[in-house]
Structure 1
Amino acid sequence: MSQTIHIRTASQENRIRPLPSSQKNHRIFTPGEEVIKAAHTNFVRGHGTYEDDGDLKASVAGVKEQVNKLISVRPLKSRYNGQVGEVLVGRISEVQQKKWKVETNSRLDSLLQLSSVNLPGGELRRRSIEDQHMMRQYLQEGDLISAEVQSVFTDGTLSLHTRSLRYGKLGQGILVKVLPLLIKKCKIHFHNLPFGVSLILGNNGYVFIGPPINDKEGNEGGFVQNLEEVVPKETREAMARVRNCILALAKNFRMLFDTSIVFAYEESLKYNVHELLLPEAMVDVAVLTQQRLSMLENYESH
């Protein structure tokens, strides 16, 4: 007995573009595509471009960026290039003398100096030999931390600091890795979402999802971990749902910030947590989230 099999694909109206609709002036150039014609000679060639018979062409697949006369093409997929003041999530990769090496999704490991961290208790004093001997008790290989870019060396290595009490070692939670390009630059990258989940959106593409942060925490110089605390089942389910929503948005090249993640969470409630990993559910959540963001932008513009 023959049986008919129906294969359903995403409908035409649900087909999404690689970049958010809010970035209308941003189109993707492919390698070898013409960015500036030879008639326009008043430009300066930047990264991601090359000249061919006077024409400026893209050497990578990415988005055109122009600052005055400087024209460059920023690649869609690349290692993170840090800037001073940006918030990062990283993992300790090595403990060295007076510093830790941190993996931050950049070309080179970042550095966290012993003098750039708060000591337990938040006390301020010069670092001693005893502090160097206790470095592994503060932070050791495999620990996740949140930090801020303090400076950038000439070779691109990032120097980090955790002097603010909101930075430091991270406890229980989920780490999600996405393209750094998808993290929207905002004034605030630490969020307590309304459904009982805390979120750290690292500019380097590392997103940390954890239990809600209490104001009383973080008074020990950024070295407190809640490893003994039992996270309620409802919170764990919410954390898993947030993770799958972030993956759905990232898979469909949608910008990640607190509002987009909250909208995606609300649109995902019709699915079970594990169903959000299905391609159709990912597309559905991403499209509905983008529609709500567009409606919000239109409302705020009027």
Structure 2
Amino acid sequence: MERRLRGTQLSLNQTQKVRLQRALQQLESLSSKVNFNASVTVADSIPVNYEDGVLKGHGTSELNGEVVATVCGVVERVNKLVYVRALRARYKPEVGDIIVGRVVEVAPKRWRIEINYSQDAVLMLSSMNLPDGIQRRRTAVDELNMRSIFEENDVVCAEVRGFQHDGLHLQARSQKYGKLKRGQMLTIPPYLVKRRKQHFHHLDQYGIDLILGCNGFIWVGEHVKATDDVLEEQVSKPEEQNTKSDRNPASLEDQEQNSIPLETRRSICRTANAVRVLSTLGFIVTVELILEIVNLSSSLNLDVHEMLGSEFCVLVAEREAERRTLNKKKG
């Protein structure tokens, strides 16, 4: 845990340093009892059972008859396969991953999207649901209207389709994918987001949506109902209407209808700051932990900006240490 805090911008006084160190040591001891020898550094020996047969995977090598780690990380075992999952590594895509990205280029028949990977991903026009919802071949008119769907700097949600000859390909063939608006995107280390069955979360009590992208991009925004009407409003407006609305500023009534309520904006910022606190402490980001931090900040009557203070981060670490200790005693 202490290694994860290196490079953070927390300015702690002496008392806070002692409290934080005590909480992290408690968390370290709890995790080491559960996963003995789980964390390794370069040249550490990895205990294996040679009688069952061992397959040495990524991050391992054989030296003097022992399996040793070649990278810093966590030892993972899948049947006979033993490998080391590196921490602080760049995102490594897998087919089916839910990702959040930002459009960097509108190219012929495709969008290029930055997803925190070593190269930009590709979202083909043919891998998108058309605005009219009809399954048909894409025409030249569809290609001309691509900017009415996504343009540069738009934040989008998609699914990893797989690798092809020209790079990593995405797809967005469901209503839950597409353009994300009225919220904010956060960037955290990808290893803090575990692959789970559900990455889309609707926090009903706050009226917001939370998308935990496997690539470390997190979206927090106002809740949007995924219906055909909404999709048609977002992407199927004729190009003439778009240019007309760009030229003529919206009326005050339209601005009021399009604005996010103040309480919802506060909830978005509070939830986003909860994600930032978890990232600073190096904790795995889950919707349960996010809600706990949001509720803790509300119970303490903290303003949104106070959640990023040193005292609150230390308090979150102490509460997490207490929670895991109680869970261990119950178990």
What range is the shorter-chain TM-score in?
A: 0.7 to 0.9
Counterpart of 1:220, as a letter, is E
Deviation at 1:242, TM superposition (A): 0.9
Within 5 Å, give how 1:63-212 maps onto structure 2: 63-153=74-164, 157-193=167-203, 194-212=205-223
1:282 aligns with 2:292: no
Secondary structure at the counterpart of residue 250 of structure 1: helix
Q: Using a 3 Å threshold, how does the CA distance of structure 1 residues 117 and 293 change in structure 2: closer, same or farther? A: farther
Counterpart of 1:233, as a letter, is L
In structure 1, the residue matched to 2:291 is 262
Deviation at 1:204, TM superposition (A): 0.9
1:193-218 deviation per Cα after TM superposition (whole angstroms, max 9, x unaligned): 12222111111111000012235564
Q: Using a 3 Å threshold, how does the CA distance of structure 1 residues 209 and 116 change in structure 2: closer, same or farther? A: same
Secondary structure at the counterpart of residue 80 of structure 1: coil
- Which of 282, 286, 291 pairs up with 1:253? 282
In structure 2, the residue matched to 1:15 is 24
Counterpart of 1:254, as a letter, is F
Q: How many residues align?
A: 294
In structure 2, the residue matched to 1:237 is 266
- Which of 206, 212, 231 pairs up with 1:219? 231
Secondary structure at the counterpart of residue 121 of structure 1: coil
In structure 2, the residue matched to 1:56 is 67
Secondary structure at the counterpart of residue 141 of structure 1: coil
**Structure 2: distance between partners of 1:179 and 1:96:** 29
Deviation at 1:21, TM superposition (A): 4.2
CA-based RMSD of the aligned residues comes to 3.1
The structure in which a higher percent of residues are helix is: 2
Conservation of the 8 A alpha-carbon contact between 2:24 and 2:317 = no
- Unpaired segments of 5 or more residues in structure 2? 1-12, 238-253
In structure 1, the residue matched to 2:3 is none
Deviation at 1:58, TM superposition (A): 1.4
Deviation at 1:87, TM superposition (A): 0.7
Q: Using a 3 Å threshold, how does the CA distance of structure 1 residues 203 and 135 change in structure 2: closer, same or farther? A: same
Secondary structure at the counterpart of residue 235 of structure 1: helix
Secondary structure at the counterpart of residue 187 of structure 1: coil
Q: Using a 3 Å threshold, how does the CA distance of structure 1 residues 245 and 164 change in structure 2: closer, same or farther? A: same
TM-score w.r.t. the length of structure 2 is 0.78
Counterpart of 2:159, as a letter, is E
